[in-house]
Amino acid sequence: MGATRVRDDATLSVAWTTKAGSPVPRLAGTSTTRKEPPRIMFGVHSFLGLFSRDIGIDLGTANTLVHVRDRGIVISEPSVVAMEAKTKRVLAVGAEAKRMVGRTPASIIAVRPLRDGVISDFDVTQQMIAYFVRKVHDRIGMVPRPRMLIGIPSGVTEVEKRAVRDAAMNAGARWAGLIEEPMAAAIGAGLPINEPTGSMIVDIGGGTTEVAVISLGGIVISRSIRVGGDEMDTDIVAYARREYNLFLGERSAEDIKISIGSASPGEWDTQRVTLRGRDLLTGLPRSVEVGGEQIREAIEPSVALIVETIKDTIEETPPELIADIMDQGIVLAGGGALLQGLDHRVAEATQMPVHVANDPLTCVVRGTGVVLEELDIMEEVLVADTYARPPR
């Protein structure tokens, strides 16, 4: 279920040699080896650049966020699309569509096109991106031919990458780049990714958890599992069914997780919450009161998998980088980082200091914003095989 990727030595040494000649830190300096694009292209692009604003998108399995240069985060909505079942005509996107989840008549379906960290439906994903870009135009006025940088889960296939880039180009981008979410999250969390020191980021999203060790602008080692906040919700649904014969909706399970879910004991254990669902035996509505400890027990399978993945990644990390991470601490990002007591749990399991990033839900999109501002000197953090020199 998990996937480990270790950069081969060749890639790593390229990263080292490009930096070796650079006397100034990468973020502050400018690259001298970069070739200029052809003059005519440069002219057209810089002309557009005068009027356009760069757009960064975190295409998450649970939430899509959009960052616009000089404006900040202008959109933050669930990655949900409601469609007519028969014709697949899109009826609603985002928050409006999420309200329909579990409440739609048979003629309407509400889907999450990225649900498990993979793009299950290209067409719907494309429509969703187009919708959010249109919404940016509505909110802040027309953005003519922007450059777009999109955060994607690491481990998506080539076909999926192409689909995302095509979606951005179809939505009017003059250039579309991709960045892996853990890299963007690390940048958004303010980690010194360009320095010769190891930083560890754990991005716990809805559908995926991604753990990465980054040094010198590259991912040295990463692991990604298709377990995140959604799986915890499923755990709670299964728990209610198993323990109480209660059929609970996924949305209610998520609300319960957010209100009293936890990964280690704490003051939240004294709180109680009411599970409201349908009795599986009588078919009638029923409610049951449970405590924080029970919800912790319910989500434990997912939490344990996340903690194991972090430990496994540490085991494969070169010792020099481990020493750096011990100094700096492991940084948790993504909505799952807000789970109460998760930082303590990870610290205990790894014997390392652990910090929750500032505003963990927005790290990835803020990271795309930073990269777009510094595109000239941060090209190497983009997904390499989709790289085409960004216009100015």
Ligand X SMILES: Nc1ncnc2c1ncn2[C@@H]1O[C@H](COP(=O)(O)OP(=O)(O)OP(=O)(O)O)[C@@H](O)[C@H]1O
Judged by the rule CB under 6 A, the positions of this chain that interact with ligand X are 60-63, 117, 153, 181, 203, 205-208, 228-230, 254, 257-258, 261, 334-336, 338-339, 361
CB-nearer residue toward Mg ion: 185 or 298: 185
Q: Closest approach of Cβ 204 to ligand X, in Å?
A: 7
- The CB-of-334 to Mg ion minimum distance in angstroms stands at 5
Question: Shortest approach of ligand X to residue 339 CB, angstroms?
Answer: 4
- Closer residue to ligand X (CB): 197 or 224: 224
Nearer to Mg ion, 60 or 177 (CB): 60
The amino acid at 138: D
Give min distance, CB of 4 to ligand X, in A.
18
Q: Looking at the DSSP assignment, which residues form a beta bridge with residue 344? A: none
**How far is Cα 114 from Cα 155, in angstroms, rounded to an integer?**
13
Q: Round to whole Å and give the CA distance between 151 and 373.
A: 15
Q: Nearest Cα to 235, choosing from 303, 311, 315?
A: 303
In the complex, the smallest distance separating the C-beta of residue 63 from ligand X, rounded to whole angstroms, is 4
Q: Residue 143 or 339: which CB sits closer to ligand X?
A: 339
Q: Is 60 in the site for Mg ion (CB under 5 A)?
A: yes
Q: How far is the CB of 9 from ligand X (least distance, A)?
A: 29
Q: Are 12 and 380 in contact (CB under 8 A)?
A: no
Cβ of residue 75: shortest distance to ligand X, in angstroms? 13
User: Of 176, 190, 191, nearest to 146 (Cα)?
Assistant: 176
With binding defined as CB under 5 A, does residue 228 bind Mg ion? no
Contacts of 271 (CB under 8 A, 6+ apart): 259, 260, 291, 292
52 vs 252 by CB, closer to ligand X: 252
Letters for 180-219 (x = contact with Mg ion by CB under 5 A, - = none) are -------------------------x--------------
What residue 117 binds from Mg ion, ligand X, none (CB within 5 to 8 A, per partner kind)?
ligand X
Residue 60 or 218 with smaller CB distance to Mg ion: 60
- Closer residue to ligand X (CB): 48 or 338: 338
Ramachandran bin of 105, using left for φ above 0, alpha for ψ from -120 to 50, beta for the remaining angles: beta
Question: Which of the choices ligand X, Mg ion, none does residue 260 contact, using the CB cut-off of 5 to 8 A by kind?
Answer: none
Residue nearest to Mg ion (CB): 205
Taking the least distance from each CB to ligand X, the nearer of 74 and 338 is 338
Minimal distance in Å, beta carbon 374 to ligand X? 23
Instruction: Give the one entry of ligand X, Mg ion, none that residue 216 binds, where binding means its C-beta sits below a cut-off of 5 to 8 angstroms depending on kind.
Output: none
Residue 347 near residue 332, CB atoms below 8 Å = no
CA dist 95 and 251 (Å) reads 13
Q: What's the rounded Cα separation, in Å, for the pair 168 and 75?
A: 16
> From the CB of 208, what's the least distance to ligand X, in Å?
4
78 contacts Mg ion (rule: CB under 5 A): no
Distance CA 97, CA 64 (A): 13
Residue 258 contact partner, candidates Mg ion, ligand X, none, CB within 5 to 8 A by sort of partner:
ligand X
- Four-CA torsion 30, 31, 35, 38, nearest 10 degrees: -20
Nearer to ligand X, 61 or 215 (CB): 61
Per CB under 5 A, residues contacting Mg ion are 60, 205
